Amino acid sequence: MDDRYIKIPSGCGLSGIMSKNGGLFSGEKIIISICNMKERGNGLGSGFASYGIYPEFKNYWCFHIMYNEERAINITENYLKEKFKIIHSEPIPTKKLNTLSFIPLLYRYFLDFKEEFIENGISEEDFIIKVVMFINRNIENSFVFSSGKNMGIFKGVGEPDEIAEFYRIYDYKGYIWVSHNRFPTNTVGWWGGAHPFGILDWSVVHNGEISSYGINRRYLENFGYFCTLFTDTEVITYLFDLLHRKHGHNFEIIGNILASPFWFQIERVEDEDYRKFLKILRIIYGPCLINGPFSIIVANSEYMIGMTDRIKLRPLVYGEDEEFYYISSEEAAIRIVSKEIKKTINAEAGKPVIFKVKWQK
């Protein structure tokens, strides 16, 4: 039997690579890594996110938008013209592949703010989120799937090597790369539902399934985040933006919110102040708790973070060499791209591992 049809109980494949000093490197490295785990997918979704790929437009917000029909293009572009100055727009460069089907129309837009919106007192980030949510909820057949600065998400329905070839990932150079090979469980396989998911400069890839999706989604709606892409992973992206950017929590605290210890574990914490702190987090942020098996890689313009659920039902491995940090579902996907790997460490349940770029002087 073809290996593609053997279901892997531990699910999807994740891979992330970060240059320690922010140096740019080709997408070929991440392609090799994720394609080493092709048996973790079944061709129903793959994708890549990269940072530093648009240096000539680095000061502008970049929207990647997929359209399911041509009529949606004019409607969306007229809306964007109302809200922004469009500095540059074009179809996302792709390569024709006969193995891919149901391909949407794919465009990218580099956007600057109009003065009247800056004067309204809303932050740039909050304004971007409002625009993304409006398009994804109200403009039929139009979906913003990437909305950061100097970064981009490229995803679709196909094997990772097919999606890499389609988007010509090898032509891009970035200082962080994150990738995903999907084995859909409870959600449909479609172009917008492939990973990574993103908002602003966040990108998230996820192995597992979220049984708390309903309560997570309803909680986020109170803060203006709406899930429209029919995949449970979307809530993780918005939770990171809410908890880190809006509420100001560091990633260790976010780990204790999203993968909170069980109540009996909290009661066993010896430090009284820390025990009280964990209880307060659990009470205030109960709707943010992610139930179900998961391992995730989360990135933004400065960090790459790996984390599993609180009993580690999905695998995650960390590694580093002289130049790079690595996070992957399997050690083999790290060693295939690094012959000088110092060591690899298996993730600890519910504890985020945080890598930060140390910029070259």
Q: Which residue numbers are catalytic?
A: 12
The residues with which 320 forms a beta bridge, in sequence order, are 325, 343
Round to whole Å and give the CA distance between 165 and 186.
Answer: 27
Contacts of residue 341, Cβ cutoff 8 Å, sequence gap at least 6: 319, 320, 321, 326, 334, 335
Helix (H), strand (E) at residue 283: helix 272-284
> At which residue do the structure tokens 């703010």 appear?
113
Round to whole Å and give the CA distance between 174 and 232.
Answer: 27
3-state secondary structure of 290: coil
What are the angstrom distances between the C-alpha of 60 and each of 12, 76, 124, 201, 222? 33, 18, 11, 12, 28
Residue 316, CB half-sphere, CA atoms under 13 Å: how many? Answer: 31
The tokens describing 85, both together, are: 């100055």
What are the angstrom distances between the C-alpha of 276 and each of 67, 105, 349? 49, 52, 21
Nearest CA among 161, 155, 150, 227 for reference residue 191: 155
DSSP assignment of 152-198 equals EEEEESS-HHHHHHHHTGGG-EESEEEEEE---SSS---GGGSSPEE
CB-CB contact of 310 with 262 (8 Å)? yes
Round to whole Å and give the CA distance between 48 and 31.
Answer: 9
Q: How many CB atoms lie within 10 A of CB 171?
A: 12
Helix (H), strand (E) at residue 326: strand 324-328
Backbone phi, psi, residue 129, to 5°: -60, -40
